[in-house]
Amino acid sequence: MTQGRILDASIEELETQGITRYRVKRVAAAANVSVSLLYSYFEDREGLLAATVVRRYRDEVLRTATVFTGPLVGVSTADALRAAMHQMIDDAQRPERFSSRGLRLESFSFARHNDTAAEGIAAAQREAASYIVGRVQPVIDRGLVIAGMSAASFARIWYAIFFGQVILEGEHSLTATPEEWRQSLYAIAEAMITPAPG
């Protein structure tokens, strides 16, 4: 589909050139369309940039949500939940499981000042949140986590831990060794699982 090719080319242009060096002519050439055809799909450069930022953000957040919740599918026992949570923890320690081509910070700045992009990103966040809660809810419904924990709070804790880890990468006073961090997460996971009766 032509519009999809244009957006793919626009994502590549934005990620390699940034907003300040972003050129619609290069996007059109990479998509193998004329600039006039490109503008039949998007009102102007700002509209194309808004659609690009939203598409890239949505793709990334939904892909990450799928990776994040994948081990929880079909979990029906506390032991299976423990194994799933350990898998989630181990996956989060492997950066190749997540995109190495994140959106540039300037794209988020653009989105804050563009109503169309801001609305699209908010919609993508709602879609991802619903998806995650839908994948976590069966674990809650089976009573596999401690009383009082909702699907939203379970997901939020783990999502915050994983993304906080990315933000805190580097050497500083909050740096933990990979094994120390993994063991700490295992301990948190254990505390969230309903204890075996007896």
Residue 106: what pLDDT?
A: 57
**Residue 176 shares a structural domain with residue 117:** yes
Reading the block at residue 104, the tokens are 């540039």
Specify whether 175 is located in the same domain as 129: yes
Q: In this structure, is residue 151 part of a structural domain?
A: yes
Assess whether 34 and 104 both reside in one domain: no
Are residue 31 and residue 124 in the same domain, yes or no? Answer: no
Judgement on whether residues 6 and 55 belong to the same structural domain of the protein: no
Supply the angle between the helices 178-192 and 151-167 in degrees, to the nearest 10. Answer: 170
Q: What is the pLDDT of residues 25-66, one digit of tens each?
A: 999 999 999 999 999 999 999 999 999 999 988 988 888 888
Residue 7 belongs to domain spanning: 1-42
On the CB side of 185, CA atoms within 13 Å amount to 26
Q: What is the domain-level CATH number for residue 55?
A: 1.10.357
Same domain, 35 and 52: no
pLDDT tens readout for residues 65-112: 888 889 999 999 999 999 999 998 887 776 665 554 445 555 666 777
Q: What DSSP string describes 59-109?
A: HHHHHHHHHHHGGGTT--SHHHHHHHHHHHHHHHT-GGGS-SSPPPHHHHH
Contact by Cβ (8 Å): 22, 9: no
pLDDT digits (tens, 9 = 90+) for 99-136: 544 455 556 667 778 899 989 989 998 998 899 999 99
Residue 197 lies in a domain: no
Are 140 and 181 contained in the same domain?
yes
Verify that 37 and 49 share a domain, yes or no: no
Mean pLDDT (the chain, rounded): 85
* Chain-centroid distance, C-alpha 64: 4
What CATH number corresponds to the domain at position 29?
1.10.10.60
Confidence band, pLDDT 50/70/90 cuts, at residue 168? low
Question: What pTM does this model have?
Answer: 0.77
